[in-house]
Structures are given as C-alpha cells and as structure tokens.
Structure 1
Amino acid sequence: MSGAAAGAATADGTAPGDGTVGLSVVIPAYNEEDRLGPSLDAVTAYLRTHEDRFGPWEVVVADDGSTDGTAALVTARRDPRVRLVAGERNRGKGHALRQGVAASRGRRVLLTDADLAAPIEELERLDEAIGGRGAAAIGSRSVPGAAIGHHQHRARELLGQAGNLLIRRIAVPGIRDTQCGFKLFDGERARAAFAAARLNGWGIDVEVLRHFHRAGWPVAEVPVRWSHQPGSKVGPLAYGRVLAELVLLRARSVRGADVLAAILFLLMSVALYSGRLFDPAHRYLPDSMQDQNQWEWFFAVTADNVAHLRDPFFTDLQNFPDGVNLMANTAMLGLSVPFVPLTLAFGPAVSLSVCMAVGLAATAAAWYWLIVRRVTAHRGAAVVGAALAAFAPPMVSHANAHPNFVVLFMIPLIIDRALRLCTGARVRRDGIVLGLMTAYQVFLGEEPLLLAALGMTLFAAAYGAARPDVARTAWRPLLTGLLYAVAVCLPLVAYPLAWQFTGPQSYGSVLHGDDSGNSPLALVSFAERSLMWGDERRANALAANPTEQNAFYGWPLVLVAFAITVRLWRRPLVKALAVTAVGAALLSLGPKVRLPMTDTVYPGPWALFAHLPLFESVIESRVAMICAPALGMLLALALARLSATTRIGPLYGGLLAVSLALLPLVPAPLKAVDRAPVPAFLTEGMWKPYVHDGESLVPVPLPDPGAAEALHWQTAARLGFKLPGGYFNGPYGPDRVGIYGAVPRWTSTMLRDVRYSGVVPPIDADRRRQAREDFAYWHAGALVLAPQPHDDRLRRVVTQLVGHEGKWTGGVWVWDLHEGR
C-alpha cells in the first residue's frame, strides 16, 4: 500500500475494523477507467438510500497498479467515504483484494467486481442470508433461483464449469459457484482470512472460502442475478493456473510433522520386509507357508488377463480343466489390476513385494490421518496410535503374505466418511463417496470390510449409549447416507458378487474347523515376531499357524489400556473405544471358549454369528484385529493428555508405562530365506514340446495348499502352461462347500501321500486304469518330477503308473504321456 493510501485509510482517525463502519465495499480494479465510474455511481447511490439498513459505509477501490486513469477517477471524487488503496505495480486480483480488505473497517465486507456483473441490489439477498451471526454469504449462479441475464460464449461457459468442478474437488467441497465475485463477509473473519491468504491471482476467492471451510465458519450460497460483462480479464488459461496454485498451496499446507510421520511409517515397513524387499524374486517368506506363491500367482494371472483382455474374474490356468473363480478368491483386483504395468515389467514377485511394503505404510498413514482428524491433533500421539494400528502383532503376522489384511488404507477413509454422515452436513455427497469407497474396498478385501463394519457397529452402539443426544440427531442422516451409499455401491459390485456366489467354481461357506477362535491366553501373550519377547513355541501353540497370530497384544498393553480407560472413562470416545476393543476380543474367542489349562468349555459370543451368511466363512480369531486401531486411539488420547500435563511425576510415569507396554510389540524383521531355483526345464521353455494346446503340465505331486511351488514354476514360465490342482478356494461335493485346493482325485491323493510318507502302495491294473482316467481328466501332456523329499519313491510310482521310464532333462524327470498313445 502506498503512503497516500495509508493516510487516506486513517484520515478520520478511525482504525480498520473498529466497528464504526457498518459496511465496507471492496472493489478490485486494474485498468477499469471505462467501467469503474458508472459502477461507483451505482454503488454509492444505493448505499446512500439504504443507510438505515447498513449503517455508515465506505467504498474501498483496490487498484492493482493500473496504467490508465483508474486511480485518478477515484481520487477525483469528493466523497471521503470512497477511498483508494493503490498498488505500486500490477500483482494480481488476489493481491489487490488482500490490500483492500486489510484497509477496510466495516463490521461486514462486501466484495464486488468493477463490472457489477451482479447488481449491487443483490446485496439485500446476501444480507438476509448472513443473518445476525453468519460468517459469509456468496452470490451464486449455480443454485436454484439464480438468473443469468447475458451468457458468456458457450466455450467459455464450459471451460468455467469444468474448472469450477475441479476447484470444488480440490479446495472447497460443497460450494457450487466459487468464481462469482459477489460475496459478503463478516468483517473480522474476512480480514483474518485474507491476511492468511497467499495467492495473488483471482484464485484467492477459493483460498479464502477454503479458509472459512477449515475454520468451520458457515458459508451460505445465495442465488443472484448475474449478467456477463464484456472485457472479462479471466482468460482460458486462468483456470489451469488457479488449479496449479491451489495444488501447490495445498502441498505447502501439509505440516512437516505429517511428512515425517509418512516417512517413518515407510521406514518401518521397509525394516519389516528388509529380508525380502531388496531381492523379492529370489527370497521367500517361510512363515507365509504357501501364501506367497499363491499371491504372486494372483498378481501374475490378473496381469495376464488384463494384457490379453480376458475375463478378470475367472481362469483355468490353475485347477485345469475346471478353473478358478478369481472373484471367489482373494485376488485383490483393486490393487492387482493397477499394478499390472509393474507386474508385466518386473514380475509378480516384485509387484507383490512393493504392494505389501508400500500398502502397509499407506495403511499406517491413513490411520494417522484419521486419528489427527477425529481423535487428537497431537502429531506425536497420533504417530504412536497409528503405528500400533498398522504394525500390531496381528498385522505383522498377516504381513507374511496376506496383503488383503495388510493393505487397509481404505478402512480409515470409510470410517471418516461414515462419521461425516452423522453431522448431516452433506449427506448425499458423503453417501455417494462412501458408496464408491465401499465398492473399491470390495475389490481389496471383503473380509476386512466385514470386520470393519462389525467394529464400526460396536463403536456406534457404545457411543450412542454414552451420548444418546448425539445418537438422536445422527441416526437419520446416517441412515439416509447409508442408503445413498448402498444405491451407489450395489450397481458397481452386483455383477462381480453374483459371479462370486453363483458363477463357475463358486462355493458356499469355507470350512475352517469347528472352532478357529483365539485362546484367551493369545490375547495377553507375545507374538513370535516380537523383537524382545518373541516365543515361537508358545505362539505356535496358541495360533493356527504363523500367518494367523491374530491377537498377541501382550499383558502389559492390556493393563495400560485398562488404566487409560479407567482414568479417562468420563469421555464418551474412550467408552466407545474400550467397548469396541473388549467386544472384538470376546467375539474373537469363537463359538466355544475353553478356559486355559482346563477342559471346561463355555459357549462363546461368536456362536450368535457363526451360522449367519458371510460370517460363517470368517476365521473368528481375526476379529481380534479390530482391537488394534481401537487400542491405538486409546494410546493416542492418553499420550495427548500426558503431553498437556505440567506435573513431572504423572508425565514420566505415564510415558514409562506406555513405553513398557509397546516395547514387547516392536516386531523383528520377517523371516526370509533363499528361494529354491526353478528348474531350467520350465524357465527355458523345454516343456513346450511335451504340452500341446488344450493340455496341461502335471507336477508330481500336484500342487495343493501344502505344497504350491508349482504355481511359482508357472509364473516363472510366464503362465505358458496350465496346471491341474492348485492352491485356491473352490467347491466340493453336491453342497458346494468351500475347500482349499482342488477336489481330490485318486491319483493326486496317492502322489501326495507318497511325498509325505515315503510309503509306496502296490500298483495294480485297477490303479493304473484309475491313473489313466485322471490323466485324461486333466488333459495331461506330461508329468514332471522335481527333486524333493522321497523323489525316488515318487519316480518309481509314476513309472509304474505310466508304464515307461521318465527322462531326465532340464533338472527334472519328465514322462511324456503321448508315448504309447
């Protein structure tokens, strides 16, 4: 601001914003000599006749370094209420508005362009909308009741609509018309928002609205009369420039602590996977058992289906000739499809490794974002809470090769969107977004989505009981939003789900045994991969396998969580989180609960759900995974509370207790071993003369959930041949019960038994006939035996079944089934 302008601003002894002026009208101007005069006449004439409504007024013309007679036109006026704020050079509308609003003194501030595209008489509508305590009312051309007198050129209108749509998505959701320059603000809030603004272009309007949105200041959108005026200075490239400015502004608004948190989570994930991450093609996670082979195959077959425009929901590369219903398996199309370019370029081992490492870090970052947004703004406390939510023992267990239970970044976003619905602010919009998010999560993992829904239900019931007043106001918009979500989600997932439950190779519930629940001791014991307290023998005794250690939070954390709950019990959020954690822990015990060290068995709460559709396929011990984010949020609340205390004893005592509870949970890097090399017979294409079109290559024994290395052979051979058997979920029997692997046949069962037992059964004519029938069913072109335990006995059995010796080639024994046909 020039010295003359500053003097004019205070010539009457009135300080900016002291409340003696009722209304300030701020008009930005750059080379507006031709249009500004009539506009000033209209504005001042209107205000003189409405002083009884608006009180003392002023007009501040913020000149943006005009080179024509704009400034002289203003200073020539004899009315002291019309003032000039002159810029030394042209810097943009945003800079002019920032200077003009800073010089204003009104209890309210009206912004209007020099062309008066919206007539000054429309001020009455804005004044009525802002009311006695409103923060802002903006003129809009996009809400019902608006009238457009003279349209812009159609191309300019379309460009403006497209730019407006993008701007709304980036910066100001909920505001339809961000570009209209006719806005009425509470004066103090306007001066605060413009002082905080950084943009110099006309995108400052959006930046200021974003400031109001973040501050929670209500903004009313009011229909106005508007008419396009020739000479607009908003060119076609302005929209792109504003969008770029807003994106950069949003990037600059990210706190350094948030960036450091994301980097920390990525480093934690890299450390966890350090044994395999840097050489994924030649390293294997032994605690994944056969899951790594299976998941690499899922990524490979998805990439192959997409590259060749085949059905992404089905394949016969495994379990030939019946095939595999990929939608009924955890193919995770929501990530395996986007990862297709990486899979095709570097292979499924690299793709899966990157997916899991980055996905785990992204999950932690998503929990961090939710905690900061909904639980506590204390960044340090949020880091600890999010780390527990994403790197708790159950998550580390599944990190061995269950990406559907590790890559959960959508779950915190879904929770936040559901909470937004409870406010009733933008029910339709948030309901639609929730529906899209839910549809995407279906393609990431249906079981985690079901568990998340169960956890949210526990939380909602507990919070509603603690705050019935909130429940009474929230249930209606929540229900309405959920109906919108269902209406959006169902059409997107209807066909895939219909294929999953009724398509080829579909099945009903999966058999997991009579009781797959946690032992009560598992909830208070330490996991195998605990860096300090790991006990492999005890952990394996309390869990089905290393990938299903779904509890193991340790007794110190349980005690600390109990103490936090007691200390902060008055807070409804604490009550809801505690009930959620306890409820999930109890449900994870399964339908039958055996008291430790006794033979006494009681019915468990999961018995209420065990036979319900969808729930009957859940491994109930996994319900304890819900405890991880609930406990993480309780810790975040406690740490935030501790950070605010000035008493040294409670501060250090609390931090020590939390540290002692978390130290036993710090995970050691996942075990990784060198991977057995794939025989040259497969990698170098030596198999091709033996397997004709429509035939399969039969490994000896056939791949199954206990030994699925043949799936790795297949991916190493770029899916060039088909396999009978395999590791997947498919139907069994007339009831189509879900089982792991292919339907057993006599030959596949016999070969598997020989591999594990070393016992060779007598091979007679009936068994040779049965083998020929099985070979014919599999359309077998060749049998392949790689070196393995009891391979000499397997070789003897196959030779007797086929009737001739095999051939040693490319590191394997091969029996060509075309010989003798």
Structure 2
Amino acid sequence: MAPGTADSGRARPEQSARRVPSVRTDLLVAGGYLSLAVFVLAGLWLNPRNGYLVKSDQDQAMFEWFFSVTAWKLTHPENPLGSQLQNYPDGVNMMANTSMFGWGVPLTPVTLLFGPTVTFVLALTLGLSGTAFAWYRLFARELVESEFAAAVGGLFCGFAPAMISHATAHPNFVVLALLPLIASRVITMARRANYLEARRRWQPRPALALGLLVALQIALGEEPLLLFALGFAVFGLAYLRTPRAILRTLRALAPPVLLAALITVALTAIPLWWQFFGPQSYRFIGYGRGGNDLLALFQFAPESAGSVLSFGPDVSINPTEHNSYFGWPLLLLLAVSAVLLRRERVVQAALAVIVAFTALSMGVMLSIDGEFTIVPMPWLIAGQLPLLNGIVESRFAMVAIPAIAIVLALGTQRALDHRRSPASGWRPAPWFGALACALLPLAPTMLPVVDRTPTPAFFAEGTVRRYVSDGSVLIVPPPTAADAVALRWQIDSDFTYPLVGGYFVGPSGPDKKARYGPEARPTANLLTLVRAFDTVPVVDATLRAQTRADLRYWEADVVVLPPTDSGDALRRTMDQLLGFPARQVDGVWVWDVRALV
C-alpha cells in the first residue's frame, strides 16, 4: 500500500494493481457492512427523537448542537465559523471544535426535516460501514486478489473495538472513509510519477483529486487526518526500506503532492485562519493521563462479544476511548502471522506501524494493571512536539487498525492460495479457525440507548420567547461539559435565545490554553456548589453585588431553574441573591431580571 507496493514493473501506470471486484460483490460486501452498522446502532434508529447513547456522556448532545446550529446558520445569513448561541457573550469558535462541517453542511436538509439525532446516527452508521467498504476497496485493488480476503480486512478497519467505542460519541473518529481514498490517490500518484518521470510529463488531475480529498477530510476531522498521515508515512518508509528508494519516491511525489497541498490550502485557508487566530481560538489542549494501559491491548472492550472473557480491572480512560482492546487471541494470531509472513515486505511495513504506534499510544510512562511503572515510553519525547501535543495519546493505537487489517487480509489470501499451490506450507483450515477465534470475540454488540429527559414546556412550547429581549438565558446552574442537556432545550426552542455556559472547547487565561466549557464566573461556581452539596449559603451584600455583576456580564434577560437535583436549595439561593422570589412557569422556576440588570 505504500507507493510502488503493487507490481512496480507494470508497463503502464494506469493498469490496476489487482483484479477489480465485481459490482455484485461490492454490493454484497457493502450491504453486509451496512447491516452490521445498523445492528450496532439499532437502539438509536428505533428511537431517533428521544434516544440517547448511554456511554456518550455529554458528547451526543454536543454533536447534535453542532449539526443543529450549522443548519440554523445556513438558513440565516450568519457566519458559520463562529457562534454566540452558547457561551454568551464570548461565543464559540466552531472551527476550533469538532463541528464536522463536511457532514453537517450537506446534511442540513436532513437536520431540518428530521432533527439532529438522525444526522448524528446517520454519521455513525454510514461512518462505520463506509469506512469498512473504503478499506475493502483499497485492499482489493492494491493488496490481495480475493474479495473475501479484502472484505476481512475492511471488516476489521470499520468495526474494530476502537471504532465501536467512538461510535458511542465521536462521529469525527468514525467517518473515516476518505482516508483510504487519500491513500489510494498517493499510491497511484507515486506509481504514475515513477513511470512519467523520465518522460517529463505532469499530472495535475491526481493532485487536484488529492487536494480536494484532504480539504474535505479537514472539514470532517483534522485529528484523524494527522494520525493517518503519520501512520501512512511510517508505512511507506518501512516498505521502501533503502534511502535510495525513499529519495527516488519522494522526488517523484514532491511536485504533485505540493500542488495538492496548495489546492488544499486554497480551499481551507479562511477556515483554518479562523480556527487558529479567530475569536475564541486556543493554542494547546492538555488532556492529562491519556495513555493506554498495557492490559488494554489484551482485553476485550465492553462493546465486544468477548467482554465476558475479559480479565483484570477496567483500565480504559473512559467508555468512548477504548482505542486498543485488540484481545489476546488477535495479538497471538498477529505474532504467528509475523513469523509465517516474515518475507512479505508489506507485512514487515505493517508490523512496523503496529509496534511504533502502539508504543506511542501508551503515554509517557508504561502503565500495567492501572499502576504506573518507571519505564519511559516514546510519548515522553513525542508529546512535546507541536501538533502532536494536542492528541489523546491512546488514539495512536487506532493507527494500528489498518496495519493489522493488512496482515489479516494477506494471511487470508495466502491461505486461499494454498489450493493452487500444493507445495506451499500453508494449511487453510487452521488459519480460518484461528481467524475466527481472533475476530469473533471482537464482534460488536448493540450499543445501549436510554430515553432522554423531556424538554421542559417552557422551552419546548416557546414560552421562553416572552422573557428574552436582546439578552441571554441563564440556566441554574449554567450548563458545562459535565451537564450539557440545556443544549437540547435550545435546539427544541429553535435557537430563539443565546445560552450562558455550554459544552465546547475554548481558550482560558492569557496563554489561551484550551479548556472544556466556559471560564466559570463566581455566581456559576456558587450555584454548582449549591447543587453538589444541597445547602443554601449565607447570602450577603457582597454576593448579591457579584451576582448582579455576573448577570450584567452575561447580559441575562431571564434566569431559569429546571427540575434538577437540589432544586429547592437552588431556588432559595437565587431568591436571596436576586432579592425577589421566582415564579413557576410551564414546569420551571423563572426570575425575569431584565429590569434588575
């Protein structure tokens, strides 16, 4: 799959590297992948209005808000790159967040007609199946002759445990079908460049296609693109091996790749400028501990059929970051395959990627069974590099997924070849038995779904419009990354008001280090503590003055207390802070503060 992988001695570069699968086979494979994706997300498909993925925490609410506000802005003459609809009055830099304009913009009609949950579940469903199919097509053209072997590789790429884990919350790490297309373009360009180099011919069309694909992937997810580029570069270097071959390929690729880069920059310059230098941009994300535990490589994810066979404690970062969890049978099969296929250059390159990026995924220090050791890992150095320091390091293990798929597909191909080569040492039955033992425990299960809490009538029926003039709505306490349900209420009210607080990534402090959610003001901190401890504080003139200052900063028109934990303590606290009692309106407590502010 690196440049020149397939039959570099062909007479003409336009010839396909392998036999192209038939349309019928493609349809069968695509239908199988799609059926499996629908099964995984069946709970959400059966209840798209009120269903919520249990393990997504607040991320489903966040992505639905991004899709909804994108659709809303496209139907209103406003800049889609930024928004003041949450975190009022500072706003949110949409490009500096996972807005997925590449999905939200074309699916705006779906969002407007059927709601953001349908757009969200479509992204997850087509992301899983489309990613699997795109890798299948690449393997069938560049790696193996058997459609079945290619389908095995595509299946693992689309439905590996990490993909299912991210399907609980992160469509930007699921909609990855463009990555194998980018790989295919680079491979084709390298092959043609080597062929045309002596003839001094130029190839602008492939460069144009590559530039368009990269620009679109930026609009879908930049972090997956960066991870893929690093993995593909390591694969190519390991495959080419010698400095001479590497330099020859780089020299041949340089002109078309540079042209593709210029095309990408021309298409994305304004959005990228807004992302890094526009309002509410930030410079660095610090995630804290984000490396894989050593046990995570051998265990089975909770969303896998083999989870009942897992051992040891849960060592994951959170339910949406099961980025390895390959299971010990698959690792054992890879070890045996590495020996049997040790002469295959493509397998050697794939193993280099697996080892390098698995090591990177393990963080700064090696962790075993939840306990850190004194063994340093490569991330201790790599984590200091620009661009890389904003990646959750456990996600580097996802780079190993297509590399593992290469080994599985090629091993399957060699087992099938045994029938045509009786002298071969391969025995197909043991291979397919081992393959089943490795993959069946990784089979995904249906993701659990619960019903949302209904939107209060105050928002759902539009009553909030009577209380908002030109200011904002303050929910008690304001929504944060830990509780973003108010974003859904804003969607259900058709964005008739801006919201104080929210769930997004924005700058904090003079160094503009990133943080999740708004910089909390004193009143927001006080209300959060009241809910946590269910205790009414002693309210004095200083607290009242601070509350009024915060309300003026937020330009608040109305303060709303929905049904929540510690609701009585919160209501009595706000009564004292504002100096007048709340009114109960359509299921919520309301303080109209327009006159006060």
TM-score (norm 2): 0.92
User: d(CA) in 2 for partners of 1:377 and 1:778?
Assistant: 63
Picking from 283, 297, 307, the partner of 1:533 is: 307
Secondary structure in 1 matching 2:320: helix
* 1:763–1:616 Cα change, 3 Å: same
Output the CA distance in 2 between the equivalents of 1:658 and 1:584. Answer: 23
Aligned residue in 2 for 1:588: 361
Aligned amino acid, residue 490 of structure 1: V
CA contact (8 A) 2:293 2:370 kept: no
Cα distance in structure 2, aligned partners of 1:537 and 1:353:
32
Q: 1:510 aligns with which of 285, 306, 317?
A: 285
Residue number among 412, 436, 459 corresponding to 2:235 in the alignment: 459
Kindly state the Cα deviation for residue 348 of structure 1 after the two structures are TM-superposed.
1.1
Listed one character per residue, the Cα deviations across residues 57-97 of structure 1 (whole Å, up to 9, x for unaligned) are: xxxxxxxxxxxxxxxxxxxxxxxxxxxxxxxxxxxxxxxxx
Contact 2:365 2:372 survives alignment (8 Å)? no
Per the alignment, residue 327 of structure 2 pairs with 554
1:532–1:295 CA distance, 2 compared to 1 (3 A)? same
Is 1:700–1:783's contact at 8 Å kept on the other side of the alignment?
Answer: yes
Deviations 1:216-248 (A, max 9, x none): 89xxxxxxxxxxxxxxxxxxxxxxxxxxxxxxx
Partner of 1:669: 446
Return the offset for 1:735.
0.3
Q: 2:402 aligns with which of 629, 636, 655?
A: 629
* Residue 469 of structure 1, CA deviation: 6.5
Query: Is 1:715 matched up with 2:491?
Result: yes
Give 1:598 deviation, angstroms: 5.5
Is the contact between residue 577 and residue 634 of structure 1 (CA under 8 Å) also seen in structure 2? Answer: yes
Contact map agreement 1:527 1:535 (CA 8 A) in 2 = no
Q: Label 1:476 to 1:543 Cα distance change in 2 as closer, same or farther (>3 A).
A: same
- 1:306 positional shift: 0.9
Please give the per-residue CA displacement for 1:108-166, whole angstroms capped at 9, x wherever unaligned: xxxxxxxxxxxxxxxxxxxxxxxxxx999xxxxxxxxxxxxxxxxxxxxxxxxxxxxxx
Aligned counterpart, 2:266: 491
1:480 aligns with 2:248: no
* 1:505/1:535 CA distance change after superposition, 3 Å: farther
Partner of 2:4: none
Instruction: Name the structure 1 match of 2:477.
Output: 701
Instruction: Quote how far apart the aligned CAs of 1:718 are.
Output: 1.0
TM-score, with structure 1 as normaliser: 0.68
Residues 379, 544 of structure 1: alpha-carbon distance in 2 compared, 3 angstrom cutoff: same
Aligned to 1:747: 523
Unpaired runs of 5+ residues, structure 2, are 1-9, 196-201
- For the Cα contact (< 8 Å) 1:527–1:534, is it kept in 2? no
How far apart, CA to CA, are the structure 2 residues paired with 1:214 and 1:461? Answer: 24
Return the alpha-carbon distance in structure 2 between the equivalents of residues 502 and 317 of structure 1.
20
Deviation (angstroms), 1:603:
2.1
Query: Quick one: which amino acid aligns to residue 379 of structure 1?
Result: E
1:783 is displaced (CA, Å) by 1.2
The 5 A counterparts of 1:774-785 are 774-785=550-561
The equivalent position to 1:651 in structure 2, one of 395, 411, 428, is 428
The change in CA–CA distance for 1:551 and 1:368 in structure 2 (over 3 A counts) is: same
* 1:684 partnered with 2:452: no
Counting only pairs closer than 5 Å after superposition, residues 172-321 of structure 1 correspond to structure 2 as 213-214=14-15, 254-321=22-89
How many percent identity over aligned positions?
41
> Within 2, Cα distance between the matches of 1:439 and 1:771?
46
Distance 1:536 1:288, change over 3 A: farther
Distance 2:566 2:332 in 1: 51
Is 1:619 the counterpart of 2:392? The answer is yes
CA contact (8 A) 1:698 1:784 kept: yes
Indicate conservation of the 8 Å contact 1:427/1:477, yes or no: no
1:606, CA displacement in angstroms? 1.5
Structure-2 change in CA distance of 1:644 and 1:282 (3 Å): same
Residue 6 of structure 2 corresponds to which residue in structure 1?
none
Compared CA separation, residues 527 and 253, structure 1 to 2 (3 A): closer
Q: Does 1:795 align with 2:563?
A: no
> Which structure carries more relative contact order (alpha carbon 8 Å, separation 6+)?
2
Q: Aligned partner of 1:725: which letter?
A: G
Matches of 2:15 and 2:84 in 1, distance apart?
A: 52
Match of 2:198 in 1: none
The C-alpha deviation readout for 1:16-67, integer Å capped at 9, x for no partner, is xxxxxxxxxxxxxxxxxxxxxxxxxxxxxxxxxxxxxxxxxxxxxxxxxxxx
> Higher Cα Rg: structure 1 or 2?
1
Distance 1:331 1:665 in 2: 30
Where in structure 1 are there 5+ consecutive unaligned residues? 1-133, 137-173, 175-212, 218-251
SS of residue in 1 equivalent to 2:274: helix
1:688 is paired with a residue of what secondary structure? helix
Distance 1:353 1:561 in 2: 33
- Tell me, yes or no, if the aligned pair for 2:235 and 2:352 is still in contact at 8 Å: yes
SS of structure 2 residue aligned to 1:547: coil
Q: Which amino acid counterpart does residue 399 of structure 2 have in structure 1?
A: I
1:550 CA drift (Å) = 1.0
Report the CA distance between 1:762 and its aligned residue: 2.1
**SS of equivalent residue, structure 1 residue 698:** strand
Given that 1:595 and 1:601 are in contact with CA atoms closer than 8 Å, whether structure 2 keeps it comes out as: no
CA contact (8 A) 1:528 1:535 kept: no
2:141 maps to 1:373: yes
2:546 to 770, 788, 792: 770
CA separation in 1, counterparts of 2:183 and 2:312?
Answer: 35
Map 1:128-207; keep pairs closer than 5 Å.
none
> Number of matched residues?
575
Match of 1:414 in 2: 182
Q: Distance in 2 between matches of 1:335 and 1:494?
A: 19
**Counterpart for residue 129 of structure 1:** none
- 1:311 is paired with a residue whose SS is coil
Q: Assess, with a 3 A threshold, how the Cα gap between structure 1 residues 454 and 799 changes in structure 2: closer, same or farther.
A: same
Aligned structure 1 segments of 4 or more residues deviating by more than 4 angstroms: 213-217, 467-470, 534-539, 595-599
1:356 aligns with 2:130: no
2:158 & 2:418 partners in 1: Cα distance?
28
Separation of aligned partners in 2, 1:579 and 1:486: 27
Change (3 A) 1:398 1:782: same
